[in-house]
Every structure is written in C-alpha cells, then in structure tokens.
Amino acid sequence: MRRRGFTLIELMVCISIIAILSGLLMSAAARVRAAAARVRCQSNLRQIALALHHLHDVRGRFPSGNVVVSTNGECRYLGWQFPLLPYIEQNELWRQSMIAVGKDPFPFHVPPHVGLGTRIPAFNCPLDSRVDETPILKGHPTAFTSYLGVTGLDNRARSGILFPGSRIRIVDVTDGTSNTAMLGERPPSASLLLGWWYAGAGQDGFGSADMHLGVRERRRMHPDLLLCNRGPYHFQPGSLDNDCDALHFWSLHAGGANFAFADGSVHFLRYAADQVLPALATRSGGEVASWDE
C-alpha cells in the first residue's frame, strides 16, 4: 500500500500557520504582562497615596518632599518616603532607621543607615529590572524608587505638594484634591545616581530629580546632566540609556505613565496630557483641567 505524506507546499503552509499562531500568542502574552505590570504599578501608587493620607491624619500635613535642614529626629536629604515606612508595613526598618538617625546625621553612612540599601517593593515599577538590585554606588548599597513626588512646575516654583521643606495640608490644595497630582512615575536615571528612595541630594542639593520632580523641570547642577538641555522639560517618552530623561516624568508603560492624585486616586495619563499637566501639578493655581486616560 502506498502511504500519502505531506507535500513540501503543505508542510510550508503548516509551518507558516504555526508561526502566525505563535506570533499571535506571544503578542497576546506580552500585552497581558504589560497590563499586569501597569495594574501593579497603580496598586503601588495607591498604597503609597493611602500611606500619605494616613500620615496626614496623624501629623496634620503631608511630609516634606525632603529634609532641607537637619534637626533632632531628622537628617538632611531624607526623602518623603522615609516617614511612610510605618504605614506600608515596614515597622522594623522604621525602628532601625530612627536609631540610625539618632546615631548619625548623615544618611549616606551605611551602617547605621541600612535603609539606604533596602529595597522596598512598593516603591518599584515591575517593568524595570534595575530596581530589583541594590548596587554599590558612591561606596554604599543603594535602593531605588520608580515614583517621585510632584513639586509643581519645577523645584524652585514649589507650587505642588511634595517639595523641599514642604508642609502642605489638604486644605492648602485649593484646586481640589481630585485635580492635583501628588506622585508620578519616572524610572531611576541611566547612571542610577538619581532616583534613590531613602535619601538623595538630587541635581541641586535639594533633592530635585531624586525624590521629587517638577512637570516643567529645568537642569541644575549635576555631573551626569551637564550635557542636557536647560529645559524646561515635558512629559514625554524616555529611555533607560539617557540621563537627561531623569528631568521629566515618564514610564516604561506604553503611551504614558501613572500618577497618584491628592485624593488618593490613581490615573494613567497619556503623553498627550502634557499640555494640561502644569495645571494638574499645582495645588492652588486656580486652573481647570481635564484629560483622557
């Protein structure tokens, strides 16, 4: 008996069909992973925003974007995420860090400031594999943040909620908490020298582009940014290889970035929202803004 097999043409057709189906499946899987990462990022920001509100309930105000002058119980350069530790289930790290603050007023000495090199998952975007590590930078282990406080237009205008030495209360947000951005996404810089969660001097000695950022930020003094344009910078796509992209909000999500607002809500803003972002970044500018997610 003669057995009929596949002809060459039939085999090629089958291979083509399998390749197409594999491509479709891989594309669908990539979209699912991207959507899951975006949801996780939004969950992180929602958790941080809730912690900020809990802290506000206790202290009567939001934390400072970072500490400008060292005082009893505070070290210069500590960022706004430091006082949130008890509110994000990091009580032991909070206890160790408070002991460290009492021992050494310089937060870049490890030990005793073990928080500098302690990774906090809630502060990290799952799409950026770099934040899973704690590399040795400037002689000490360093952990990062993917989420920065919104200072307003820029670090010197200080028209937002989280800026150097800020003491903003909810009643100060006269534009409305649902219309005022408080946190936004921006990956650590290409050199990893900007984007430290525990403490940071930033590009100007006051934390700019390290723990907080303006939506129309300008370049100040930082060795990694000397070749960057002076700005102002805009909300637009960025690259992990470009240090200058540390001067504006962006994310590894396609088409935009997540922002947490002062009412605790989290929204995905597309890059087309750049034109209204200055209105959303100020707490009392009297502007009316709307956007599409």
Say if 153 falls within a structural domain: yes
Q: Which domain holds residue 86?
A: 32-281
Indicate the pTM of the whole model. 0.88
What would the pLDDT profile of 202-230 be if each residue is shown by its tens digit?
A: 998 999 999 999 999 999 888 889 999 99
Give a yes or no: residue 263 inside a domain: yes
Residue 2 lies in a domain: no
Q: Say if 23 falls within a structural domain.
A: no
pLDDT of 26 = 64
Do the Cβ atoms of 256 and 274 come closer than 8 Å?
no
What pLDDT shows up at residue 3? Answer: 55
The predicted pLDDT at position 286 comes to 85
123-142 pLDDT, tens per residue? 999 999 999 999 999 899 99
Considering its fold, how many domains does the chain have in total?
1
Is 274 within a domain? yes
